Amino acid sequence: MAAGETRELTVDLGERSYPIYIGTGLIIRIGEIFKERAIPVKSPILLVTDSSVADLYADRVEEVFANAGYTVTTAVVPSGETSKSLEMLDELIGAALEAGLDRKSTVIALGGGVVGDLAGFVAASYMRGVRFVQIPTTILAHDSSVGGKVAVNHRLAKNIIGAFHQPEFVLYDLDTLASLPLREVRAGLSEVIKHGLIWNADFVAWCDENADKLLSLDSEALGYALYEGCKVKSIVVSRDERENDLRAILNLGHTIGHALEAVAGYGELLHGEAIAIGMVGSARLAAKFGYSSEIAEETERIFKKFGLPVRIPASCDPEEIMSAMLHDKKFSEGKMVFVVPTAIGSVEIRNDVPSSWVREIVDELREGN
């Protein structure tokens, strides 16, 4: 296990503030961290993970807890988005009851954003709320582990059943990322870069220069990038915990991105891939509003460098994309609302986007055009 710097970041939310630890070799320290935080040994822990991650890391986590004197029950859900369901909530509540979890117990998410969102909602609703800890194992989860949004999906809409439930702490052990498929690495980095694009031009430049290190999971580079990504999200969330205004800037690229995910069929395009295309689209909107066309060129160049798609798959019908966007809940009262960059590193929210512009961009970006 490579010894490296551990970075620590506080998500500042008053009495709900919590730390994020980012570094290598952290899992073996989790028992110690539980004790420091006076988490009672007598109260059983539920460790929620998915079928891919369980085989790789669950034993290690269980062992550390056993050595520290804690009782852990592991619940494994199938890998993939379909596990974010009320059926799985039902099963996990059953598992929590059978394991004897009480009001002082902790639910831990060991996995990517799927496990984080699902286990987080279990923690939010079991006995009306118990302690929650995140051990993210994907790069994308740097995004989902900050901000306290937890949820499951409904047949008719994603993330529609949920809560705001802040974790006790987040333990980002970079060692777990080594097993992540390259496609998931790229998709996760797409959200990291997004955090740069909305807030910090220097960080975008740094990502650009360090693309190779990031893609090869160099611990030092990755630790820094995840720290910076979490930091941007955490600043935004601290200023607007409940998504009243500022938090909307985090949706850069997501209006088009969500529509693409839905039209391509969930799972065809990874979330990070869909929003990379979406960010290129938003940057082109910027040009239509009179901002420099270099923003779009730069955005496209960087995502390409990271091996991310920057064109809409030819299989996606433009009409369907447009109608999916019109159903997106981010449109308030029928007008088209978009997060639009004004330069690399800063954005504004526009609620005056003509749908004809969006349609033009969708057409331009379609593969083969």
Ligand X SMILES: NC(=O)c1ccc[n+]([C@@H]2O[C@H](COP(=O)([O-])OP(=O)(O)OC[C@H]3O[C@@H](n4cnc5c(N)ncnc54)[C@H](O)[C@@H]3O)[C@@H](O)[C@H]2O)c1
**191 labeled binding residue:** yes
Q: What is the number of alpha carbons within 13 Å of residue 88 lying toward its C-beta? A: 27
For the question of residue 142 being annotated catalytic, the response is no
What tokens appear for 261 in the block?
């995910």
> Which of 168, 258, 261, 298 is the catalytic position?
258
Q: Does 149 bind ligand X (CB under 6 A)?
A: yes
> Which of 142, 195, 231, 254 is the catalytic position?
254
The least CB distance from residue 120 to its own copies, in Å, is 11
The least CB distance from residue 49 to ligand X, in Å, is 9
For the question of residue 183 being annotated catalytic, the response is no
**271 φ, ψ to 5°?**
-55, -45
What secondary structure letter does DSSP report for 337? Answer: -
Interacting stretch for ligand X, rule CB under 6 A, among 3-11, 30-38, 52-60, 305-313?
A: 52-60
Residues in the chain: 369
Are the beta carbons of 230 and 251 closer than 8 angstroms? no
Helix (H, G, I), strand (E, B) or coil at 49: strand
Q: Does 53 bind ligand X (CB under 6 A)?
A: yes
> Which of 63, 243, 294, 297 is the catalytic position?
243
Residue 363 binds: one of its own copies, ligand X, none (C-beta under 5 to 8 A by kind)? none
Residue 90 binds: one of ligand X, its own copies, none (C-beta under 5 to 8 A by kind)? its own copies
**213 labeled binding residue:** no
d(CA 319, CA 316) in angstroms, rounded, equals 9
d(CA 57, CA 175) in angstroms, rounded, equals 10
For the question of residue 149 being annotated catalytic, the response is yes
What tokens appear for 47 in the block?
């460790």
Angle of helix 355-365 versus helix 318-326 axis, rounded to 10: 140
Nearest residue to ligand X on Cβ basis: 113
Q: Does 115 bind ligand X (CB under 6 A)?
A: yes
Helix (H, G, I), strand (E, B) or coil at 149: strand
Neighbouring-strand partners of residue 348 = 340
d(CA 99, CA 70) in angstroms, rounded, equals 13
**73 labeled binding residue:** no
d(CA 254, CA 152) in angstroms, rounded, equals 18
Opening angle at CA 197, ends 141 and 283, nearest 5: 120
The least CB distance from residue 91 to its own copies, in Å, is 10
**299 labeled binding residue:** no
How many other CB atoms are found less than 10 A from the CB of residue 212?
10
Residue 81 binds: one of ligand X, its own copies, none (C-beta under 5 to 8 A by kind)? ligand X
For the question of residue 251 being annotated catalytic, the response is yes
Burial of 369 by CB count in 10 Å (0-12 exposed, 13-18 middle, 19+ buried)? exposed
Burial of 185 by CB count in 10 Å (0-12 exposed, 13-18 middle, 19+ buried)? buried
> Which of 165, 231, 233, 284 is the catalytic position?
233
What tokens appear for 58 in the block?
């669950």
For the question of residue 359 being annotated catalytic, the response is no
Q: Does 195 bind ligand X (CB under 6 A)?
A: no
**79 labeled binding residue:** yes
Q: Does 141 bind ligand X (CB under 6 A)?
A: yes
What secondary structure letter does DSSP report for 88? Answer: H
Residue 223 binds: one of its own copies, ligand X, none (C-beta under 5 to 8 A by kind)? none
**80 labeled binding residue:** yes
Opening angle at CA 175, ends 171 and 179, nearest 5: 120
The least CB distance from residue 337 to ligand X, in Å, is 19
Q: Nearer to its own copies by C-beta: 98 or 209?
A: 98
Are the beta carbons of 283 and 299 closer than 8 angstroms? yes
Q: Nearer to ligand X by C-beta: 54 or 286?
A: 54
Residue 114 binds: one of its own copies, ligand X, none (C-beta under 5 to 8 A by kind)? ligand X
Q: Does 50 bind ligand X (CB under 6 A)?
A: yes
Residue 271 binds: one of ligand X, its own copies, none (C-beta under 5 to 8 A by kind)? ligand X
Binding site, annotated residues for Zn(2+): 191, 254, 271
Site residues, ligand X (CB under 6 A) = 50, 52-53, 56, 79-81, 84, 111-115, 117, 137-138, 140-141, 143-144, 147, 149, 159, 176-177, 179-180, 184, 271
Active site residues: 128, 149, 191, 233, 243, 247, 251, 254, 258, 271
